[in-house]
Amino acid sequence: MDLIKDIEVGASGAKEPTDEVRISRETNTGKAKKLYIESYGCQMNFSDSEIVTSILEREGFDSTSDLEQADLILLNTCSIREKAELTVRKRLEKFKGLKDNDPKKQIGILGCMAERLKKKLLEEEKIVDLVAGPDSYRDLPNLVKELDEGRKAVNVFLSREETYADISPVRLQSNGVTAFISIMRGCDNMCSFCVVPFTRGRERSRDPKTIVKEARDLFGKGYREVTLLGQNVDSYKWDSEGEERVNFAQLLKMVAEVDPELRIRFSTSHPKDITDEVLFTMAEHENICKYIHLPVQSGNDRILKLMNRTYSREWYLERVDSIKRILGEECGISSDMITGFCSETEEEHQDTLSLMEKVEFDFSYMFFYSERPGTLAEKKYEDDIPLETKKKRLQEIIELQNRHSLRSNEKDVGKTFKVLVEGTSKKSESDLFGRNSQNKVIVFPKGDQKPGDYVMVKVHACTSATLLGKVVDKERANG
């Protein structure tokens, strides 16, 4: 969850430096107005767009995936990198032509970019009518009313309590099998490179009863996998007067017990907070996936300190050892890495490569450092590593991760995995795809299986990104 990903290498299959974009689903229930929403960035943004859609559908909007048909166009934005904001500004240029042709169209900016730039968006981007931060989505009906009355509308108030716990999200572009559940909002970590604490506010956890209810409702609708989302899920803590305190390990157990056929994933973990209690809970429940995304960012202690990550190289490696000791060597581990952070030396870069050699991540998200306005690093440190050096170091990290990802997948050839079918392969209509517990994508020939089925698949080949197999026992997988 930490960052929009520049480069991803490994089991998930994405390699190009492109940002994922999600748009509205299509609904047509005869409501008076049409909403188009486009989402950028992390999984939390995609989850937030589902909340926004739910709120506005109650207020007389159907959804559309056609810009021309939309009365209200919303961009749910990310501020984690300059590239993300430039992408949004380019989209606004396209929308200008739409608005020139139809001045009644209303255009709004949601999310982290809205929170960071606030009223500047109305001034800089003349076509923007509405600006709403991540904690102000309940106020969207009032903001839209202001637009209808001919006024610009802004709400970027950051809340200490808002979790949207009572709102049932509308699942956008859903495959009907997997879904996100937001368990907390905000972040207290203050990593020096990160803008999230300033755009999403302080950390607050959602009532566990509402999380379990959402998971149970999704299972009843046919969903078979949920991902629990938070900027730092390991610091989840529900502490309400008169109620028993619930930590993340206890929440995992509660959701896992909804039904053994409901798979549980979570993102993102922080190395300073992930506990053995969480790992033992994962070990005790077969339906909690044996995969952990554990961002390291750097393998050098001085750089980690400058980043304010609050752990050391030794601490991180000890956490990896505990994961393998408690969950076994086959537990999937992925990471984030930033190269070219302020003042990073060649020797310190080599420390990141050596840490990668020790851990051998299954896949990773990798980027060179991009300074963001308002962060602690921007205020305290000089962004002094030349771009060419950043790119060179990033390429070395990518090449090493490619080798590790291929080696990891080669170890799985000949093994049989329980796979949750998610849909048809993008590359071939004759193949299906799904993921195993370790979050590796497995592609296999289509039979009588359907999305939501569990199948046992024996792997016979691989690439660095994907496992290739054949179904061997569907009945045992669903038993």
Query: pLDDT 10s per residue in the chain (479 long)?
Result: 333 333 444 433 333 333 456 665 667 676 779 999 998 878 888 889 999 999 999 999 999 988 889 999 999 988 877 777 888 888 888 888 888 888 899 999 999 888 888 888 888 778 899 999 999 999 999 999 999 999 999 999 888 888 888 888 877 767 899 999 999 999 999 999 999 888 888 999 999 999 999 999 999 999 999 999 999 999 999 998 778 899 999 999 999 999 999 999 999 999 999 999 999 999 999 999 999 999 999 999 999 999 999 999 999 999 999 999 999 999 999 999 999 999 999 999 999 999 999 999 999 999 999 999 889 999 999 999 999 999 999 999 999 999 999 999 999 999 999 999 999 998 889 999 999 999 999 999 999 999 999 999 999 999 999 999 999 975 455 44
CA–CA distance, 172 with 26 (Å, rounded to integer): 9
Picking from 82, 65, 72, 71, the residue whose alpha carbon sits closest to that of residue 21 is 65
How many CB atoms sit inside 10 A of residue 316's CB? 25
In the structure, how many helices (H) and strands (E) does the chain have? Answer: 15, 23
Picking from 324, 335, 396, the residue whose alpha carbon sits closest to that of residue 1 is 335
137: which 2 tokens? 């989505």
Domains along the sequence of the chain with CATH: 7-155 (3.40.50.12160), 178-408 (3.80.30.20), 416-477 (2.40.50.140)
DSSP of 179-246: EEEE-EE------TT--HHHHH-S-EEPPHHHHHHHHHHHHHTT--EEEEE-TTGGG-EE--TTS--E
Q: Which residues pair with 237 in a beta bridge?
A: 247
CA–CA distance, 189 with 234 (Å, rounded to integer): 12
Kindly tell me the burial class for residue 308, based on how many C-beta atoms sit within 10 Å of its own C-beta (0-12, 13-18, 19 or more).
middle
